[in-house]
Amino acid sequence: MDELYRDQILEHYKRPHNFGRIEGPDLEFEDTNPFCGDEQHVTIRLDEDGRVAEVAFEGQGCAISTAATSLLTDELVGKTREELLALPKEEVLDLLGIEISATRMKCAMLGLKVVKSASLGEPAEWEDEGVAGDPEAERARDGI
């Protein structure tokens, strides 16, 4: 089963959904994972009811951070800002479908952190997820 999820992660890494930038977004934020340098920038357009009408992201990073943000953005259309803020980290982990080590947790959560920060219009309070480690060694070990 892990192999299926690894293939999905690699597919979203190579061909991320919603990749790009929305011109004139209603919500926007960017952040970096200080452990490995992954960068994510999210733009969101809201409809007249205040729900996500369109979402896009761009940036650079490892397979986990890119795939997690790609998978997450697929789930956001139709949600309110309040619903974006209430998204639990478990939703992202469920979308990824594989166990994420403490070293890679910041990679997996970067997109969620940026989406929540965009919803607030300022950096979201964020518990320090993950630990410093060697992401390069973990990428080689995990094959992603």
Total number of domains constituting the chain:
1
| pLDDT tens digits along 15-31 | 999 999 999 999 999 99
**Residue type at 24 in one-letter notation:** G
Residue 62 has pLDDT above 80, yes or no: yes
The dihedral through the CA atoms of 96, 15, 119, 49 has a sign that is negative
Summarised one tens digit per residue, pLDDT across range 81-137 is 999 999 999 999 999 999 999 889 999 999 999 999 999 999 998 765 555 555 555
Which residues pair with residue 19 across a beta bridge? 57
CATH of the domain at 103: 3.90.1010.10
Range of the domain at 133: 2-142
Residue 144 has pLDDT above 90, yes or no: no
Backbone angles phi, psi at 2, to 5 degrees: -55, -35
CA distance linking residue 18 with residue 38, whole number of Å: 18
Measured from the Cβ of residue 131, the count of other Cβ atoms closer than 10 Å reads: 12
Residue 35: per-residue pLDDT: 83
Per-residue pLDDT, 79: 98
Q: What is the CA radius of gyration of the chain?
A: 14
DSSP for 37-100? Answer: --EEEEEEEE-TTSBEEEEEEEEE--HHHHHHHHHHHTTTTT-BHHHHHH--HHHHHHHH-S--
